[in-house]
Amino acid sequence: MTEQTLPHADRRKRQLPQINPVYFVLAALIVAIVVMNPAFAEPTGYMNFLKRAAPLAILAAGQLYVIVSGGFDLSVGSVITLVVVGSSILSNNDPNSTWWVIATMFAIGAGVGLINGLVVCYLKVPSLIATLGMMITLNGVAFMWSGGSPRGYLTDQFRFFGRFNIPDLPLIRILPVALIVLIVLGFALYWLMHRTNLGRMIHAIGDNPRAANLAGVPVNRVRILAFMVSSLSAVAAGILLGGFAGVSTDVGTGYELQAITAAVLGGAQLLGGRGSVPAAIAGALTLNAIFTLLNFLGLPQPIRQVVQGLILIAAVAVAMQRRKHTGR
Amino acid sequence: MSDAPVIAMAHISKSFPGVRALNDVSFACHAGQVHALVGENGAGKSTLIKILSGVYRPDAGNIVLNGANANFKHPVESLRAGISVIYQEFSLLPERTVAQNIFLGREPRKGLLLDHAAMRSETRRVLDLFGAGARVSPDALVADLDVATQQMVEIAKAISLDARVVVMDEPTAALNEAECEVLFATVDKLRERGTAIIYITHRMREVTRLADRVTVLKDGEVAAHFDTPPAPDAIVRAMVGRDIADYYAPPATQAEIGAPVLSVRNGGNAFLRHIDLDLRAGEIVGFAGIQGAGRVALAMALFGQVPFTTGTVTLNGANAAFANPRDAIRGGIGLLPGDRKAEALVLMQSVRDNGLLTARAFAPLVGTQKSNAHASLSSMDALFDQMQVKAASYEQDIKFLSGGNQQKAVVARWLALKPKVLIFVEPTRGIDVNAKAGIYHLMRDLARAGTAIMMISSDLPEVIGAADRILVMRAGSIVAEFPHGAAETDLMLAATGETEVAA
């Protein structure tokens, strides 16, 4: 029979450093950036960094919900595109439209998440394929809606969230609104994932859906909610990104994979059961710090993609090694 | 049959960091004999076998194989020396045929090509050696075979390797009664051929049926050694270190058994026919039968996982034809699945999370995880304490706990909900003797508190000892009823359909 003779002491030793390694990696990268560019230590330096990283951080925290529930959400990048393109068309340069446009975008996001969840739960399409199909569909919708060449601009009111800095503050001098949004949403997503019954059930269905079902967990409802959280956080990320990105039909391209990479850097277990919202946010900051560093090194843009791909593989490989050593 | 042992392990000691796994253990096995190695989980059985097969190296002591020193550094060395270990988790490739599995890594060749004909005929010869030829075709895919037959393929593989020592690690763990008989016959055949067999088990029936000699391990030491098959009581006493007169809880008295709680009339679905059943408050009803007889299907029908399509189900008089587990739980039915790892545990979560899973599933989605209408962190901790769940911390991942402690945590999950009917499927599979006794007493305590208990078990002595009433199922129907303490043979006969007993 299975015996408990396996090294107890070793196990305890290994459990001692409970701090997620992503925080050390992030700290090391920040030190490296500061060494190369001392201006980064100034408030304008790191506040701008956080502002630019905020959309991906929120996206990664939302993506984590789907990953912990045992799936992937590849549609979030196309949701971002749809939000940016759709908002510019709907608002039609009218500053008063901002609030109802944002409300509409969150409604669309909720609908996308709901459809993703329903397709996965009831049509039994694997989430990778279901959300890939949704990604292609939404990119097409954004293209058609804009007639292929997005016209117009986002109003300054709309761009407020992603672009505006609250000036003249003591100590930190400026505070980007995007950072406030990140802190508020980050805390809300942390609370929902790690402090509520829903969060525990998302962990359970990603860990063992059959056991969760036999324990009375409403597996489909929980899974659909996870997809909706992911899509809604993509809407929030799209609104922030609209603050500093131009209106185009490829503004969200690639963000879905960056979000997954960030969540995995944060130690999320692919195929479900384990993950942390703060660590996923740290993973997003880490990824952005790596990109910043590559910029300073003067490496061309395509290198970013090469590096990102290697990071994704390396992060999963490291996670698998860790899992092997801790047994399962 | 000479008196010199084929294999002798002398004064073996082995420590892991923080744990003394084996202390001065000596063990020998003779040709043509079955030497049973018994002990609770954690007694050191697996460690001893892993040392024998070269997976671990001993800290002290030595191994003698056929009179020569044999301290293996790698499992392949022991395999070459003629020691085959059949683990509980088989090492077969499911998408390959029986013949391909048996010759995996040493396929006979004809020139550059594999000699399929030779593989097939040699496989058939080996299978025939222990009378399995009729049961297994060399060309069958392993994935298509049932567990018992896969085990025969493992045994055939051992024979084809000319193993002089075959080690079987709890070979009946996944087998039903009929399959066990086939396995026992196979072991007898191996013994006649002069193979030395080390048979690891903690089921007394298998020891008395098979063993020529018995060694009992407890806490890494030899607690007892018998050169002739002893009485089961002596073995159990050595295993647990105490008498087991109170192993099973006493049956219910007539006064304790109340009115029917859950009733089924003419229930049926694809797997079940004409089910008439009453589960009463305060009563433990045991279900016996061979695998596939419909016992688990009945549990899943009551629990709404695979509902009845015909007939009526009532719970305290109200309609209780539940369409899914969630409805069934809301109605007051709980179920402990038979396959803990696959169906009950969320392995990456903490002991607490596992205990609180169902309570949380019926609490508001965005409510705090710390407490709800059914349980709280502290009430769950108290329940764990009361059930003596052994864990370094209840925050620990449940995967690190032993099977018995995992099972207790799953039981705690249901206790928090206070169900009216609790269904136990194979409640003691893979847990040690003391934990088993704990589960029996817990079932009895629950029954005394008014719960109706349904217990499905493939362990006949357990059904007979723990249940107040025993129903035997066969081919999707309930075919016979027996009182507490019925004879094992009567149950067997009813289960296999050898004779009809008035229901």
The pLDDT-based confidence of A325 (bands split at 50, 70, 90) is: low
pLDDT band at B461 (very low <50, low <70, confident <90, very high): confident
A32 band by pLDDT with thresholds 50, 70 and 90: very high
Among chain A residues, the shortest Cα distance to B367 is held by A196
| pLDDT score for A288 | 94
Mean pLDDT, all residues of chain B: 87
pLDDT at residue B499 greater than cutoff 50: yes
Whether B440 shows a pLDDT value over 60: the answer reads: yes
Dihedral, A198, A203, A204, A208 alpha carbons, nearest 10 = 150
In this predicted model, what pLDDT tens digit does every residue of B374-394 receive, in sequence order?
A: 999 999 999 999 888 888 899
Predicted local confidence at residue B233, as pLDDT: 76
Judged by CB atoms closer than 8 Å, whether chains meet at B345 and A211 is answered as yes
Q: Are residues B200 and B151 in the same domain?
A: yes
pLDDT of res. B311 = 94
Residue B455 forms part of a structural domain? yes
> What is the per-residue pLDDT across B337-383, written as a single tens digit (0 to 9) for each?
988 989 999 999 999 999 999 999 999 999 999 999 999 999 999 99
- pLDDT > 90 fraction of chain A, expressed in percent and rounded: 64
Mean pLDDT confidence for B240-247: 64
Report, as an integer, the average pLDDT of A159-170.
Answer: 88
The predicted pLDDT at position A178 comes to 95
Residues on A contacting B at a C-beta cutoff of 8 Å? 1-12, 192, 195-201, 203-204, 207-208, 210-218, 225, 269, 273-274, 327-328
Indicate if B83 and B150 belong to the same structural domain. yes
Residues of chain B neighbouring A274 (CB-CB closer than 8 A): 348
Q: Is residue B2 part of a domain?
A: no
For residue A191, the distance in angstroms to the closest alpha carbon of chain B comes to 9
Closest to B427 in 3D by CA, of B339, B328, B495:
B339
**Hey, which CATH number is domain A21-30+54-325, 1.10.760, 1.10.3470, 1.10.20, 1.10.10?**
1.10.3470
| A220: closest chain B residue by CA | B326
Judge: A3–B42 Cβ closer than 8 Å, yes or no. yes
- Closest-CA residue of B relative to A274 is B348
In a domain, B271, yes or no: yes
Question: Range with the lowest mean pLDDT among A42-51, B110-119, B360-369?
Answer: B110-119
pLDDT at B134: 79
| pLDDT single digits (tens) B33-63 | 999 998 876 678 888 988 988 888 899 988 8
Chain A residue numbers touching B347 (CB-CB < 8 A): 207-208, 273, 328
Q: How many C-beta neighbours within 10 Å does residue A184 have?
A: 12
Average pLDDT estimate for A64-82: 97
Q: Choose from A2, A3, A69, A220 for mutation: most chain B CBs within 10 A.
A: A3
Q: Are residues B287 and B353 in the same domain?
A: no
Instruction: Compute the average pLDDT of residues A239-259.
Output: 90
Residues B276 and B326 in one domain: yes
Which pLDDT value is given to residue A13? 42
Tell me the pLDDT band of B129, cut-offs 50, 70 and 90.
confident
For residue A147, the tally of other CB atoms under 10 A from its CB is 9
pLDDT tens for each residue of A282-321: 999 999 999 998 888 888 888 888 888 898 888 878 777 7
State which of A179-188, B202-211, B456-465 shows the largest mean pLDDT.
A179-188
**Confidence (pLDDT) at B157:** 86
Report the residue from B19, B329, B432 with minimal CB separation from A5: B19
* pLDDT value at residue A56: 97
**pLDDT for B29-40, tens place per residue?**
999 999 999 887
Tokens 């207790």, residue located? B408
User: Closest residue of B to A204, CA-based?
Assistant: B346
The answer on B318 and B205 residing in a single domain is: no
Percent of chain B residues topping a pLDDT of 90: 40
User: Of all residues in chain B, what percent carry a pLDDT higher than 70?
Assistant: 96
Q: Is A83 exposed, middle or buried (0-12, 13-18, 19+ CB in 10 A)?
A: buried
Q: Do residues B411 and B430 share a domain?
A: no
- Answer whether B369 sits within 8 Å of A196, measured CB to CB: yes
- Rounded CA-CA distance A321/A309 in Å is 19
Radius of gyration of chain B (CA): 25
- Looking at residue B397, the DSSP 8-state letter turns out to be B
How far is residue B208 from each of residues B35, B168, B214, B248, B461, measured CA to CA in Å?
11, 16, 10, 20, 14
The tally of domains found in chain B comes to 3
Residue B471: beta bridge partners?
A: B287, B481
pLDDT single digits (tens) A106-128? 999 999 999 999 999 999 999 99
- Residue the block writes with tokens 């567990």: B147
Contacts of B358 in chain A (CB under 8 A): 215-217
**HEC secondary structure over chain A:** CCCCCCCHHHHHHHHCCCCCHHHHHHHHHHHHHHHHCHHHHCHHHHHHHHHHHHHHHHHHHHHHHHHHCCCCCCCHHHHHHHHHHHHHHHHCCCHHHHHHHHHHHHHHHHHHHHHHHHHHHHCCCCHHHHHHHHHHHHHHHHHHHCCCCCCCCCCHHHHHHHHCEEEEECCCEEEEHHHHHHHHHHHHHHHHHHCEHHHHHHHHHHHCHHHHHHCCCCHHHHHHHHHHHHHHHHHHHHHHHCCCCCCCCCCCCCHHHHHHHHHHHCCCCCCCCCCCHHHHHHHHHHHHHHHHHHHHCCCCHHHHHHHHHHHHHHHHHHHHHHHHHCCC
Position A137 pLDDT exceeds 70: yes
The boundaries of the domain holding residue B355 are: 347-418
Q: Do B349 and A207 touch (CB under 8 A)?
A: yes
Enumerate the residues of chain B whose CB falls inside 8 A of the CB of residue A217: 326, 357-358, 361
Query: Quick check: is B245 in a domain?
Result: no
Say what the pLDDT of residue B127 is: 85
For residues B449 and B395, membership in a common domain is answered with no
pLDDT at B178 over 80: no
Supply the CATH number for residue B290's domain: 3.40.50.300
Give the model's confidence band at A224: pLDDT under 50 very low, under 70 low, under 90 confident, else very high. Answer: very high
Interface TM-score (ipTM) > 0.90:
no
Interface test with A, best of B218, B339, B345, B365 (most A CBs within 10 A): B365
Name which of A79-88, A93-102, A192-201, B446-455 the model is least confident about: A93-102
pLDDT tens-digit readout, B58-89 = 999 888 888 888 888 888 888 888 888 888 77
Q: What is the mean pLDDT of residues B468-486?
A: 93
pLDDT at residue A4, rounded to an integer: 40
* Residue at which a domain ends, from B240, B270, B287: B240
Q: Same domain, yes or no, for B165 and B200? A: yes
Domain finish residue from B384, B399, B418: B418
Give me the mean pLDDT over the B205-210 stretch: 86
pLDDT exceeds cutoff 50 at B437: yes
B225 and B358 co-located in one domain: no
The verdict on B410 and B436 lying in the same domain is no
pLDDT at residue A187 greater than cutoff 80: yes
Residue A196 and residue B47: Cβ atoms within 8 Å?
A: no
Overall average pLDDT of the B410-439 stretch: 89
CA atoms of B470 and A250, how far apart (whole Å): 68
In a domain, B88, yes or no: yes
B462 and B494 housed in the same domain:
yes
pLDDT at A327: 43
Domain assignment present for residue B247? The answer is: no
B249 domain-assigned: no
pLDDT digits (tens, 9 = 90+) for B287-330: 999 888 999 999 999 999 999 999 999 999 899 999 999 999 99
Query: Could you tell me which residues come within 8 angstroms of residue A159 by beta carbon, excluding any fewer than 6 positions away?
Result: A242, A243, A244
Give the model's pLDDT for residue B355. 96
Residue B479, in any domain of the structure: yes
pLDDT tier, B253 (very low <50, low <70, confident <90, very high otherwise): confident
Whether A273 sits inside 8 A of B349 (CB atoms) is yes
Q: pLDDT, tens digit, for every residue of B388-419? A: 888 889 999 998 888 888 999 999 999 999 99
B401 and B423 fall within a common domain? no
